[in-house]
Amino acid sequence: MSFFSQSRARHIELGRRGEAAAVRFFRQRNCVILARNWRFTTAHDGNGELDIVLLDGETLVFAEVKTLRRAHKYLPGGNLHEKQKRRIRRGARAYCRKFSIPENLEKRFDLVEVLHSGRRVQDIALHENYMSFSLTEVPSGTIL
């Protein structure tokens, strides 16, 4: 296996561990996990994946998980760029359409930052309402 293949495999495994830690975190808060790694492919929304979809009380939450191996100069959420935010919004719209989610149901986007030290979770930070929610497409370049 090449260095790049090994590095990619470690990166994917770290992401999986971060997502598992986020699921445990949400369950400890009595949230109901509806989907993990929910993939979508539609003519209207393109394709992509939502990390975690959950119910927090009466609120539908789309959670993006960002994980780093150790404390860096930047927090894991610094790796969430505008293109990824648009993909997450498209995924949320696709999820709502597929499962006929009522428009009046409260929805939010959360960012979960997970820091790993060795093989252990060092810290988890939850940023509720990290992005605004809209069922309509927001023009590129619009700051939300």
Maximum CA extent, the chain: 50
Fold designation for 3-131: Trna Endonuclease; Chain: A, domain 1 (3.40.1350)
Domain boundaries, the chain: 3-131
- 77-135: pLDDT as tens digits: 666 788 888 889 999 999 999 999 999 999 999 999 998 877 787 789 999 998 877 65
pTM of the entire predicted model = 0.81
Chain CA centroid to CA 116, Å: 17
Residue spans of beta strands (DSSP E) within 29-118:
32-42, 46-56, 59-68, 107-117
